[in-house]
Chains A and B, each alone.
Chain A
Amino acid sequence: MLRMLLRRLALGAITVAIVSIIIFSGVELLPGDACTAFLEREAKGKLLENCREAQGLNRGPIERYLDWAISAVQGDLGVSANGQKSITELVGNRLKNSLLLAASSLALGVPLAIFLGVITGLWRDRPIDLTLSTLAIFAMTIPEFVSATVLILVFSVWLGWLPGIVLTPAHAPAIEFFPEILLPVIVLTMVMTAHILRMVRSSVIEVMAGDYVQMATLKGVPYWRIVFRHALPNALLPAINVVALTVAWLLGGVVVIEVVFNYPGLGRMIIDSISDRDLPVVQAIALIVATVYVGVNLSADLLTMFANPRLRTLYMRRK
């Protein structure tokens, strides 16, 4: 069991390493380098040289990669392209804010989605299912910036209930982001819930139509007991994976939301740094995001393995 855990952790670490190589090579392959990108037209002469030195661009690629990677593991993400700010510092606050946003959405969205998914699955084709499923389709297909804009229009402009823009500065403590954080969280939750709901619904339908649920019925097990004890543990197993995928999506979706609402998170920082052509920052953020994603996936894998008896016995009873 322990061996399997370690093995998975190792695989995860390898994946992160591969991703870091991809990121690094990706940036390398772009024409020019971090300095020419940042300085653009002014990339010449002394300015360029200084920049290059500050960034350590005089060394070979492999050396630079290893240096970057090793420092990153220790928590040092290098300096921004203008050579002035420590990226780790810059990123710290933003990361906290984005995590706040993501975590709130997850905390709200996942339980809601599972709940609604189960309901629509059990009451399939009844009015509640038709309503919710249609809403889900809308939420899923419309781009987040559209839903965000519409919600701002309705709740901020017309009804005036919630603020439509975030004015709290980046370094402020989490509590100060309320109530500005509400609309962004609602938008994220909407989209996330829609995806998970559809998936849970189809899983519940499949399980409830299956042989062992029929057997439990014919064994005289009361309906709700069947649902909670026989059906859901099986129906929700694939949900773990979907939640993991959704987190991955969330890491990207957060970007657009942060821009729309002017939320001071990692997403907006990416946009800003890309506009500014600040490649070291972009690189660092990419690495963080990828690591988070791998971590989430790993947890999902382990959770599935633990929850699914077939896999559990496979790993635990191995001699």
Chain B
Amino acid sequence: MTNTVIDIKDITVGFSGKSGAILPVLRNVDLAVAQGESIGIVGESGSGKSTLALAAMGYLKRGLRLLNGSVSFRGEDMFEQSRPGLEKIRGGELALIPQNSGQSLTPTLRIGAQIIEALRLHSALSPADYQAKAVELLGQVRLPEPETIMARFPHELSGGQQQRAAIAMALAGEPHTLLLDEPTTGLDVTTQAHILELLRDIAQERSMAMVYVSHDLGAIARVCDRVIVMYAGEVVLDGTTRQVLKSPVHPYARGLLASIPRLADQHLPVALDGRPPAPGGAGQGCSFVDRCALAKERCHVERPELSQVDSGELVRCFYSEEAQALSLVGAGGVPVEVKSDAPPALTLGDLSISYHSPGLFDRFLGRQSIHVATVDDIDITVGRGETLGLVGESGSGKSTILKSIAGLLPPADGSIEMAEGEALAPAVENRSPDHLRRVQLIFQNPDDSLNPRHTVAEILAQPLKLYFGLSGAELNTRSAEILDRVRLGVHYLDRLPSQLSGGEKQRVAIARAFAADPEVVLCDEVTSALDVSVQAAVLDLLNALKERQGTTYVFVSHDLAVVKALSDRVAVLYQGRLCEIGPSEQVYATPSHPYSEVLLGAVLEPDPDVAPNLATDDVVESSPPAQGCPFQRRCPRKIGQICDTDTPPWQETTNGHAIRCHHGIDELMRLQAEDGSA
């Protein structure tokens, strides 16, 4: 293209390993970005995408070296530039929006000071105008009350606000090229959607060149014209967004797409087994050969080059025509069907949980703080063999509920019962061994939930010994059996967590939970810390285990598509209160609770033709209102005073689907049909 801004030619970047060998992080990567173009760089952890983005600025993390190739920005070689030259470009014409703004903004400087610093360095304004311009910038990124924000420190802002402030700071230099390194990771669903819309608008208004790095294909679909897929430090696919996301011609890209759960799916996503090679671990052949369904002899010995196919994309594969035949849908498992008249496995009655208890000083001073319960008024019954999904954003109380069921956080009020009215003692210390065995909890972060000092064998031995009194040969046999069921070989028994990948660790955590032969398994965001392709494998595993043993799941996640893939029924929570509950099909369709509507509208599908529907602002509330509907402050369908004062009644449709709203069901259907929400 004519107006190339970023021109990266054949770069190889690497670091020196322990034995002195050079381990590459990027291999022979080309990237050309033209003015007005938005390019997405997609890859999982270890793909080198962040390194590539930073290299475009002439920056490499400590220990990395440019071994080959060149990086140019507007014709100037970024690695040959003098320091002042680089300083002029960075933050000026070429700006970066970082991944974690909470950590990327200097904690000791106020927001205003940091933006003014950018202005001072890169804008032509006179110092007297800095303040006003900074406020204007904050307004442009749609931050309310910009003057107040100017005086605040980064830690006083929410995640979404921090990210917007970082965007404002990047815009201060009037850049015509933006680099974005996973800018929405860690943000709530609705916040993500809003920030993306903002970025999209900004890019279009100013016809900027944009490089958007992410593992989230939904975000990429929304913002980018072209997409580059990276794997193990190489570019494996380069095409338009439509080409890459609708019909990719590289086996990895196809596998990646197939492994992402979508709202419209009727089945589980297809897992991509194995993991990417570590730097320097790829052999002489194709880096994807170990995981590729198409792998042939040639792939093991010869490394494919990027070549152009008829439709225009660049692919790094010998057999890309055959790749096109690979199914995107695949033979993914169908979730287990559950009869709606199954006997209850778990019942939550009028559950109320609170994190607050008055401190000594408060009591001493006679302060009677009115604390609104963190979670309140929860009545749910889960049938045996059923999977109940709990969805909500931060502050929804979903993890809190799981902790209470597990007994780690005794509820303030209400009851938790197992089948046939067996009440569970509120605190785990008071529960009978039988009850303890039948309810198991799996945590989000496998790095944290496995003791780094224990081998896998020891980890599995604990529930086996505790609940079944196994030892010796019997113990070993059973451990091996359980490992097999989570698709890990016997040789994993002697390994320590530090020697396992994220996906493998989570499987061990799942194995540990199932070793107890439980009736109810509580899953607390168990896929959220994993790479996209690994998530599918874990979901598949959970489903298979359920099929085999008829386990009941309570599955918590902020990812709506993931929840839908696995759940029979779904409950939507906002600020610790139930909004809607029912079979997943119905919850994900209209009529919906206004909050469910907002939530579903914000989901980003990896489909460039689907736009999100943003019904309300991404305000983050810190605590629920004392009375009335919990969604009263943000509801786009608010009726009026009644929402503030009266608790909304349950409105029922069919099959146990219920919505808690002052609107009637017909009213909701009408309103939502008008707006055409899906």
Residues of A within 8 A of B (CB): 209-212, 214-223, 229-230, 233-234, 307-310, 313
Contact = CB atoms under 8 A, between A and B. Distances in A.
Contact of B109 (A220, A222, A229): A229
Interface in B165-187: 169, 173
Interface in B48-71: 54, 57, 59, 61-62
Nearest to B181: A218
A177 B118 CA distance: 53
Interface in B404-436: none
Given A230-B109, A309-B108, A310-B155, A218 B103 contact: no
Contacts of B153: 309-310, 313
A310 B156 CA distance: 8
A210 B61 CA distance: 11
Contacts of B54: 218
Contacts of A313: 153, 155-156
Interface in B4-33: none
Interface string B102-129: 0111111100000001100110000000
A223 B86 CA distance: 11
A218 B103 CA distance: 14
B76 to A, nearest CB: 14
Contacts of B108: 230, 233-234, 307-309
A264 to B, nearest CB: 44
Contacts of B155: 309-310, 313
A229 B59 CA distance: 21
Nearest 8 CB-CB pairings of A with B: A220-B91, A219-B91, A220-B90, A215-B104, A211-B103, A220-B87, A233-B108, A309-B153
Contacts of A219: 90-91, 95-96, 117-118, 121, 169
Nearest to A213: B106
A313 B96 CA distance: 29
A308 to B, nearest CB: 8
B103 A220 contact: no
B115 to A, nearest CB: 10
A215 B107 contact: no
Contacts of A233: 108-109
B103 A212 contact: yes
Given A309-B155, A313-B156, A215 B105 contact: yes
Nearest to A219: B91
B163 to A, nearest CB: 13
Given A215-B98, A309-B153, A313-B156, A221 B117 contact: yes
B652 to A, nearest CB: 43
Nearest to A230: B106
B89 interface: yes
Contact of A214 (B89, B104, B109): B104
Contacts of B117: 219, 221, 229
Nearest to B92: A220
B88 interface: yes
B57 A216 contact: no
B367 interface: no
A223 B87 CA distance: 9
A236 B568 CA distance: 54
Interface in B114-155: 117-118, 121-122, 153, 155
A286 B173 CA distance: 60
Q: Which of A216, A223, A313 has the most CB of B within 10 A?
A: A216
B108 to A, nearest CB: 4
Contact of B107 (A212, A217, A221): A212
Contacts of A310: 107, 153, 155
Contact of A216 (B61, B106, B156): B106
Contacts of A234: 106-108
A222 B120 CA distance: 12
B512 to A, nearest CB: 34
B100 interface: yes
Interface string B69-84: 0000000000000011
Given A210-B103, A220-B89, A220-B91, 15 more contacts: A212-B105, A212-B106, A215-B98, A216-B106, A218-B98, A219-B91, A223-B83, A230-B108, A233-B109, A234-B107, A307-B108, A310-B107, A310-B153, A313-B155, A313-B156
A219 B109 CA distance: 15
Given A218-B57, A218-B59, A309-B153, A211 B122 contact: no
A313 B169 CA distance: 23
A313 B110 CA distance: 12
Contacts of B90: 217-220
Nearest to A308: B108
A221 B104 CA distance: 14
Contact of B88 (A210, A212, A220, A230): A220
Nearest to A7: B361
Nearest to A317: B156
A317 to B, nearest CB: 8
Given A209-B62, A310-B153, A313-B153, A221 B105 contact: no
Interface core residue of A209, A218, A233 (most chain B CB under 10 Å): A218
B373 to A, nearest CB: 22
B92 A211 contact: no
Interface centre among A212, A217, A229 (most CB of B within 10 A): A212
Q: Which of A210, A220, A229 has the most CB of B within 10 A?
A: A220
A33 B546 CA distance: 76
12 contacts: A212-B103, A212-B104, A218-B57, A219-B95, A220-B88, A220-B89, A220-B90, A222-B84, A229-B117, A234-B107, A234-B108, A308-B108
B485 to A, nearest CB: 41
A308 B105 CA distance: 15
Contacts of A222: 83-84, 87
A218 B56 CA distance: 11
A221 to B, nearest CB: 7
Contacts of A216: 106
A216 B169 CA distance: 11
B107 A309 contact: yes
Contacts of B105: 212, 215
Contacts of B109: 229-230, 233
Contacts of A217: 59, 90
A230 B117 CA distance: 11
Nearest to B166: A215
A310 B157 CA distance: 12
A310 B83 CA distance: 33
A215 B95 CA distance: 10
B100 A211 contact: yes
Contact of A211 (B86, B91, B104, B169): B104
Contacts of A308: 108
A222 B106 CA distance: 15
B564 to A, nearest CB: 34
Nearest to A222: B87
Nearest to B59: A218
Contact of A220 (B86, B98, B106): B86
Nearest to A211: B103
B98 A211 contact: yes
B148 to A, nearest CB: 12
A238 to B, nearest CB: 13
Given A309-B107, A313-B153, A221 B57 contact: no
Contacts of B59: 214, 217-218
Nearest to B110: A309
A220 B121 contact: yes
Interface string B325-358: 0000000000000000000000000000000000
Contacts of B100: 211
Contacts of B86: 220
